[in-house]
């Protein structure tokens, strides 16, 4: 189903996908079907721009800050 969505949008619409999983682990996520995964990645990566963002996660930072504040209140 995910392949069908990507295939319908391929070269017709913009698609933004965020992930913290490297491409080599995508077959495990997408049902261990390497052929479909390669087809999906082929369509996603053709004409694409990849942005690798390294650094601290704001969500994790805020969660840790919230937990430490809760501990101080107790």
- Burial readout 32-53 (b: 16 or more C-beta within 10 A, e: otherwise): eeeeebeebbebbeeeeeeeee
Q: Quote the pTM value.
A: 0.64
What's the confidence (pLDDT) of residue 39?
92
What's the confidence (pLDDT) of residue 72?
64
DSSP assigned state of 13: S
CB 53 within 8 Å of CB 19? no
Separation between Cα atoms, residue 44 and residue 59, nearest integer Å? 26
Tokens, residue 14:
């913009």
Range of the domain at 46: 2-73
- The predicted-structure confidence for 9-63, as pLDDT tens digits, reads as follows 999 988 998 888 888 898 998 888 889 999 999 999 999 898 888 877 777 777 7
Number of domains forming the structure of the chain: 1
């Amino acid at each position: 189903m995910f392949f069908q969505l990507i295939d319908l949008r391929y070269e017709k619409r913009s698609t933004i996908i965020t992930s913290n999983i490297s491409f080599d682990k995508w077959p495990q996520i997408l049902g261990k079907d390497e052929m479909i995964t390669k087809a999906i990645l082929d369509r996603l990566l053709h004409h694409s721009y990849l942005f690798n963002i390294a650094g601290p996660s704001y969500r994790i930072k805020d969660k840790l800050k919230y937990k430490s504040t809760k501990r101080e209140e107790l």
